[in-house]
Structure 1
Amino acid sequence: MKFSANLGFLWNDRPLPDAIRAAGAAGFGAVECHWPYDIPAADTRAALEQTDLPMLGINTRRGNVAIGENGLSALPGRRSEARAAIDEALDYARATGTLAIHVMAGNSSGPLARAAFIDNLGYACAAAARHGITILIEPLNPYNAPGYFLNTTGQAADIIRTVAAPNLRMMFDCYHIQIIEGDVIRRLAATLDLVGHIQIAAVPDRGPPDHGELNYDHVLREIAALGWDRPIGAEYLPEGRTDDSLGWMKRFA
Structure 2
Amino acid sequence: MQRRNFIATAAIGTAGLAATKVTANIDSNNKDFELKNNINHSVCQWCFDSYALEDFLKVLNELGIKAIDLIGPKDWPLLKKYNIHCSMCNGAEISLTEGWNDPKNHEQLVQNYAEIIPQVAQAGYTNLICFSGNRNGMNDYVGLQNCVDGLSQIMPIAEKHGVVIQMELFNQVNHPDYMCDSSIWGVELCKHLGSDNFKLLFDIYHMQIQEGDIIRSIQNYHPYFGHYHTAGVPGRNEIDETQELYYPAIMNAILATGYKGYVAQEFITTWEDKIAALKDAFLRCDI
- The normalised TM-score by structure 1 is 0.85
Q: Using the TM superposition, name which of 169-178 and 77-86 deviates more.
A: 77-86
CA RMSD of aligned residues (A): 2.2
Q: 1:101 to 1:62 in 2, by over 3 A?
A: closer
Deviations 1:1-42 (A, max 9, x none): 331111122x312444443333232332311116x36xx2xx
- Cα distance in 1 for partners of 2:143, 2:130 equals 14
From 277, 280, 285, give the equivalent of 1:245.
277
SS of residue in 2 equivalent to 1:102:
strand
Letter of the structure 1 residue corresponding to residue 62 of structure 2: A
Q: What amino acid is the match of 2:179?
A: F
Contact 2:265 2:281 in 1 (8 A): no
Residue aligning to 2:98: 71
For 1:73 and 1:18, the matched residues in 2 are separated by 35
Question: Does the aligned pair in 2 maintain the 1:141–1:180 contact within 8 Å?
Answer: yes
Counterpart amino acid of residue 113 in structure 1: G
Distance 1:91 1:20, change over 3 A: farther
Matched, 1:125 2:125: no
TM-superposition CA deviations, 1:194-227 (whole Å, max 9, x none): 1111121111111122231111122222222332
1:216 aligns with one of 241, 247, 256: 247
Does 1:8 find its partner at 2:46?
A: yes
Residue 62 of structure 2 is matched in structure 1 by 25
| Bigger RCO (CA 8 Å, 6+ sep) | 2
Q: Contact 2:97/2:132 (CA < 8 Å) preserved in 1?
A: yes
Q: Distance in 1 between matches of 2:244 and 2:62?
A: 30
Task: Look up the equivalent residue of 1:6 and give its one-letter code.
Answer: C
Local SS of the residue matching 1:77: helix
How many residues are matched?
Answer: 242
Aligned partner of 1:202 in structure 2 is 232
User: Deviation per CA, 1:60-113, whole angstroms, max 9, x where unpaired?
Assistant: 5553x6xxx623221132221222332343254235332111111111232442
**Worse-matched range after superposition: 229-238 or 84-93:** 84-93
Q: Distance in 2 between matches of 1:175 and 1:7?
A: 17
Instruction: Report the Cα distance in structure 2 between the residues aligned to 1:251 and 1:78, rounded to whole angstroms.
Output: 40
- The residue type equivalent to 1:248 in the other structure is A
Identity of aligned residues (%): 21
Q: Which residues of structure 2 form unaligned runs of 5+?
A: 1-38
Instruction: Quote how far apart the aligned CAs of 1:52 are.
Output: 2.5
Q: Counterparts of 1:122 and 1:184 in 2: how far apart (Å)?
A: 29
Q: Which protein has the larger Cα radius of gyration, Structure 1 or Structure 2? A: 2
In terms of mean alpha carbon deviation, does 232-241 or 198-207 score higher? 232-241
**Deviation digits for residues 113-154 of structure 1, max 9, x if unmatched?**
222211222122211111111111122100111111111100
In the alignment, residue 158 of structure 1 is paired with which amino acid?
A: E
Matches of 1:241 and 1:62, distance apart in 2: 33
SS of match in other structure, 1:171:
strand
